[in-house]
Amino acid sequence: MDVTYLRAANDYAITDTIPFEAASTVIASARKLLRAVGTTAWNERGDIGGNYARQGDAVLRRARMDHTQEGSFIIPILVPLSHTQETPGEAAQTADLELFQAAPEPFERRVTRTLAQSLMAVKEIILEPESSPSVGDLHAVVARGVSREFCSALAKILTEPSVSEFETSFEWASSVPAPETMPNSVSIESGASQKIEEAAEKLKKHRIDSTSTFSGNIVELRHVGDDPFGFATISTVRRGRRSEIRVRLPYEAYQEAVIWHRARRVVIVDGEVNHGTGRRLVVDNPVGFRPIDEILLPIT
């Protein structure tokens, strides 16, 4: 199971106990956070508007809440992973072919990972800059799983009078390789609630188009001979179904992708998806191809 620890902290109000109203707010809002990322892990959108994905709701129904822990008010949320494919070993290399392969990421892991990267995106793109988020900033956070509903639920926790800081930490199931560069924990102070609420309003007002952007783990890398291009295949979700999309990369970018693959870094791709030979989904000329955790770098 992947485990997310939700911690509500306040030096004077929360020690080993918490006001009942505050606890109710944290639990109810945590459910909304998980439900929101369950949908945006399936289909990124800035405003869910009640159209939650049944695949994400299925993950929510299977999630468990463990006993609370001492040390402020800590709620462990457990997400069981479905049966996973066996991870392929590193493929044998030949003189003409370089090939690396990996198993696709289970959807349940994608949901928990989306929660982690969404919190990190809110903190680094919406909160840390002094200025209000631009439409471009909103596009960047939506591409990483943030939605209006996610922001509203997070702000609800932070506006609870007994909560001065909300922290999430993550413990990844050992049965699936952990996303090494995802944050171990993310903390947000209560003073950030107003800016998060403003972002929620903007996400409701502006329709953010993320149809040309997708993310996922690299399941195959392929390079032949002296070809100036290599290919990275990304396991993702597109138009309501699991998909694998092959991305053509200049050799220098391909070499970087090999490094990211070995570090188990999830990537985000921006580019037009077309049908190639044998109806394979392909992106021949990506506009952007970066690790999704490099949030502060522009997608160029």
Where are the domains positioned within the chain?
A: 2-85+105-205, 97-101+210-291
Q: How many residues does the chain have?
A: 300
Q: pLDDT tens, 220-262?
A: 999 998 899 999 999 998 877 889 999 999 999 999 999 999 8
What's the pLDDT score for residue 198? 93
What's the pLDDT score for residue 15? 59
We find that the CATH architecture of domain 97-101+210-291 is: Beta Barrel (2.40)
Query: Would the pLDDT of 126 be above 60?
Result: yes
Q: pLDDT tens, 13-67?
A: 455 677 888 889 989 999 999 999 999 999 888 999 999 999 999 999 999 998 8
- Rounded-to-integer distance, Cα 249 and Cα 230, Å: 5
Phi, psi of 107 (to 5 degrees): -60, -35
Reported pTM: 0.87
> For residue 40, which of 54, 53, 58, 57 has the smallest C-alpha distance?
53
Other CB atoms within 10 A of residue 118 CB? 25
| DSSP β-bridge partners for residue 224 | 97
| DSSP β-bridge partners for residue 222 | 99, 231
Tokens of residue 167, six digits: 């922290």
What's the pLDDT score for residue 155? 95
* Percent of residues, the chain, with pLDDT higher than 70: 91
Quickly tell me which residue has 């609420």 as its tokens: 197
Q: What value does the mean pLDDT of the chain take?
A: 87
Of the candidate ranges 80-84, 85-89, 248-252, 267-271, the one whose mean pLDDT is the lowest:
85-89
What's the pLDDT score for residue 20? 85
- Rounded-to-integer distance, Cα 267 and Cα 240, Å: 19
Q: Which residues of 63-99 are buried (b: 16+ CB within 10 A; e: fewer)?
A: beeeebeeebbbbbbbbebeebeeeeeeeeeeeeebe
Of the candidate ranges 6-15, 23-32, 109-118, the one whose mean pLDDT is the lowest:
6-15
Report DSSP letters for 106-118, one per residue: PHHHHHHHHHHHH
Which one-letter amino acid corresponds to residue 236?
T
